[in-house]
Chains A and B, each alone.
Chain A
């Protein structure tokens, strides 16, 4: 579904963030991308999203090269506080991005309420983002992304700035939503445990400039549990393996 072919991106000034990175993602897969900080993970996502034109190589979505922002793609940013529009209610934040999906405002609002109910925020629809906790704001961002009905969902360290308990809740929310919706996910994280817990496959990047160091299929059952999965020998083995790779230069 998504093919990244020899992607290279250098910023003006000479810093090369991503160098000759190739990766293929199958439809319906949840791929986690992990690597040391500054390894070009965000640059990779921005190139896939069409927010940035790579200086070399190509990104293909269903065989078509991405030149502009693809219609079938949504993204969840790390800085939820800056990604939601603070002057709109939570419901209108979700409804806004459905402008091209539904003709009438009533349909958009109904769809937005439905999406908010999916993430357990039906009661917060009338509130403004600033009135919600960080974890709730990120739920809104997830609801907004899924309401958009993307085929490909990009997540840039989505749970990086919430507390540990909230993070586990959000991880399980993502897995539950994904089990219900046929969506392909590329999730970037710097958290090794998270990359194994969430992923069908873990892609480990090298330090800057980023390229693929290893791809590890995750042999864990699809139904995951914060306590049991983390005790699974396969989880423990993979976590050690990914940890070793991330530290490797």
Chain B
């Protein structure tokens, strides 16, 4: 983004916030006691010092992180298994295509039955939602592995497992990272929606539900949502950077690379 574009973006944002501020104040907060943007920002600032809120953020992020770790740990080896044993891959294709479109939130009732502990319940749904993008990207990546690289290592006496470790896995890294980035956003959405829909003891979603039902805390409610957005943005930014760096230092194949 050029400096001028960034400046314009900033102006646009400020203009939108100012318009919202004027509208909300002029209408007296509408019927639902809607806070003005400045009030939301002030509440967001206060939340940084609010132990209850920071604990809630920590709880959601913990569920998110564990869920992502488990999803990577499941999806990447599963991708290798399904693509190295062709019969298994074909046999599993139908079931994968059937399970993948099921929205995670539709599985909340099932997860509540299977996992009584709220953290495990939430983590299980995060894992469910995150597995698919990573699995599909891994499978795609493994179809792109360069035959010549595999043949080269074979000639130098590397067995199938060693070739998977030294060629297939590293050459899949950029694709797997793309899957992880897609999953990371989905995982955050699933974690917060699960907290909202199945009220647990803590978490950003739980905090939002409580501030909404308690009444008179709409500024905190919206500030919580604002923080959720900021967290999503930060996660996505970090993973996009990682991906871009991997693409630069990890030219998948061919002659181009860092020059």
Residues of chain A touching chain B, judged by Cβ–Cβ distance below 8 Å, are 49-51, 69, 71, 73-75, 77, 79, 81-83, 85-87, 96-97, 99-100, 128-131, 134, 137, 148
Contacts and interface: CB of A to CB of B under 8 A. Distances in A.
A86 B173 CA distance: 13
Interface string B152-183: 11111110000000110011010000000000
A49 B155 contact: yes
Contacts of B152: 75, 77, 83
A128 B155 contact: no
A69 B154 CA distance: 7
Given A97-B156, A100-B157, A131-B259, A81 B254 contact: yes
Interface residues of B, number: 27
19 contacts: A50-B155, A51-B155, A77-B148, A77-B151, A77-B152, A82-B146, A82-B149, A83-B148, A83-B149, A85-B149, A85-B170, A87-B170, A87-B171, A96-B156, A96-B166, A128-B249, A128-B257, A128-B258, A131-B258
A137 B148 CA distance: 15
B248 to A, nearest CB: 10
A81 B255 contact: yes
B123 to A, nearest CB: 32
B45 interface: no
Given A77-B152, A130-B256, 11 more contacts: A49-B155, A50-B155, A51-B155, A85-B167, A86-B250, A87-B173, A96-B156, A100-B157, A131-B257, A131-B259, A134-B255
Contacts of A51: 151, 154-155
B156 A148 contact: yes
B252 interface: yes
Contacts of B151: 51, 77
B73 interface: no
A79 B259 contact: no
Contact of B156 (A74, A128, A134, A137): A74
